[in-house]
Amino acid sequence: MALSPPPLALYLHFPWCVRKCPYCDFNSHAVQEQAPVEAYLSALYADLEIQAPGVAGRSVVSLFIGGGTPSLMPPEAVARLLETTRKLLDLSACSEVTLEANPGTIERGRFAEYRAAGINRVSLGAQSFQPQLLAALGRIHSADETRRAATELHAAGLDNFNLDLMVGLPGQNSDQALADVRAALALEPAHLSHYQLTLEPGTVFGGRPPEGLPTHDTAADMQERCQELLATAGFAQYEVAAFARDGRRCTHNLNYWQFGDYLGVGAGAHGKLTDPSTGLIQRTTREREPRRYMARGAAGLPPSRDVPVSDLPFEFMMNALRLTDGFTTTLFEARTGLAWDAVVEPVGRLTRRGLLTTDGSACRPTSLGRQFLNEMLMEFMAPPRR
């Protein structure tokens, strides 16, 4: 089946933080003195110039500046970054331009300047409003700084903002988890990301788990109670860890979960692109270490690789099964180029086990299925290649 290019998003990565959090497995690096913003942006521009011809004629539907802590960049640097991006890519259809921010790195008045630079959505890393839990997570900000940042977001006209909240933290109980959700709701965000702390390999917590972690069942119960509170407050769950008011779902993340295309630009960034000439889906990666990324320049950027057709069911399901509403058979065929017959058998097995529901044209995980997402994904893995 021929493939037409799906919607295209753009991810720009800023790799530095004031301090690396012990649970974080993103490509972020503690800055020793001051992040070399100008040198890094020059490398970012060169990366953009190389990748832009591959998406000529296509419009970008969303742009996300993530990290790291992109709010370490001054507003004038963000303005230049967006201006350069507009010269290289078609942003005429880009309705959502998100900046990740840490409450502990925002100076007063900066949100108004970010909005003037072209930012219209912010994702704020709150994580918790309990001082002892913030300390346990290695966060550099206070709950009051999160509240002040939210006040400034509203004052700047940036009411479309997300708050990140974590549950299942060391020493946390259900009352504290619910108190965090209530504190977040009081700040009137448009969107909440609410997810359990996980101990990722390669992180400090992965090597030395903190004491006092709740059991899996206790953490799951906390999360369920918090989700009930969010639903009562008008936040609909549309993805495993995403909750939004009406009309405020994250366009950028939805494009990932619906197996759309995206350019990944910056140190450690990943991309997924559909080649219109061959119909093949390609993955791109960038050098992870920021200084090597800057030093190697255009000549050192890794080549793209084709995704084997046998891997496409797994890659699609790894994203789409996160969606509460699931996906249609038409979307599967349009985004993978495969006929629905390619997954009929595993879908049938999961349906009989009560992990999926199907109505002929749509497929969605049940509440039980969302608890066993990894187990469901195993059904779609291709046999090992010899």
Task: Tell me: do 17 and 134 sit in the same domain.
Answer: yes
* pLDDT for residue 361: 83
Instruction: Establish if 3 belongs to a structural domain.
Output: no
pLDDT (average), residues 207-218:
93
Considering the domain architecture, whether residues 73 and 163 belong to the same structural domain is answered as yes
pLDDT band at 331 (very low <50, low <70, confident <90, very high): very high
Instruction: Identify whether 298 is part of a domain.
Output: no
CATH number at residue 338: 1.10.10.10
Question: What six digits make up the tokens of 107?
Answer: 């100076």
The answer to the question of residue 351 being in a domain is yes
Is the same domain home to 336 and 242? no
- Could you tell me which of 165, 164, 156, 118 has the C-alpha nearest to residue 10? 118
Q: What would the two tokens of residue 119 be?
A: 């930012």
Euclidean distance between the first and final Cα of the chain, in Å? 26
Is residue 65 a part of any domain in this protein? Answer: yes
Helix (H, G, I), strand (E, B) or coil at 36: coil
Structure tokens at 296: 């190697």
Do 216 and 330 fall into the same domain? Answer: no
Last residue of a domain, one of 254, 276, 299: 254
pTM of the model: 0.94
Q: What gap in Å lies between CA 27 and CA 386, rounded to an integer?
A: 31
- Return the sign of the alpha-carbon dihedral for residues 29, 109, 96, 367: positive
Same domain membership, residue 239 and residue 324: no
The CA distance from 28 to 21, in Å, is: 9
- Do 196 and 314 share a domain, yes or no? no
Least confident of 23-32, 80-89, 152-161, 238-247: 23-32
Q: What is the pLDDT of residue 386?
A: 55
* Residue 108 vs residue 5, higher pLDDT: 5
- Region 39-64: what's the mean pLDDT? 94
pLDDT band at 121 (very low <50, low <70, confident <90, very high): very high
Q: 281 lies in a domain?
A: no
**Confidence at residue 385, expressed as pLDDT on a 0 to 100 scale:** 60
CA pair distance 381, 379, nearest whole angstrom:
6
Residues 243 and 340 in one domain: no
- What CATH number is attached to the domain comprising 194? 3.20.20.70
Residue scoring higher pLDDT (386 or 151): 151
Residues 80 and 15 in one domain: yes
- Give pLDDT tens digits for 232-273: 999 999 999 999 999 999 999 999 999 999 999 999 999 999
Mean pLDDT of the chain: 93
pLDDT of 379 above 80: yes
Residue 279 within a domain: no
Separation of alpha carbons 193 and 162, rounded Å = 7
Q: What is the number of domains present in the chain?
A: 2
The pLDDT value recorded for residue 277 is: 76
219 falls within a domain: yes
pLDDT at position 384 = 67
In a shared domain, residues 200 and 342:
no
Q: How confident is the model at residue 300 (pLDDT cuts 50, 70, 90)?
A: low
My answer on whether 317 and 243 are in the same domain is no
**Residue 283 lies inside a defined structural domain of this protein:** no
Does residue 1 have a pLDDT over 60?
no
User: How far is the C-alpha of 129 from the C-alpha of 175, rounded, in Å?
Assistant: 12
Average the pLDDT over 146-162 and give the result: 96
Answer with the one of 235, 254, 273 that is the final residue of a domain. 254
Predicted confidence (pLDDT) per residue in 162-193, tens digit: 999 999 999 999 999 999 999 999 999 999 99
Residue 343 structural domain: 309-378
- One domain, residues 313 and 238: no
**Alpha-carbon distance values, 316 to 69, 289, 323, 370, 371 (Å):** 29, 28, 12, 16, 18
Report whether pLDDT(280) > 80.
yes
242 and 138 co-located in one domain? yes
Looking at residue 299, its pLDDT comes to: 61
CA atoms within 13 A on the CB side of 196: 21
Q: Where does a domain end: 254, 270, 287?
A: 254
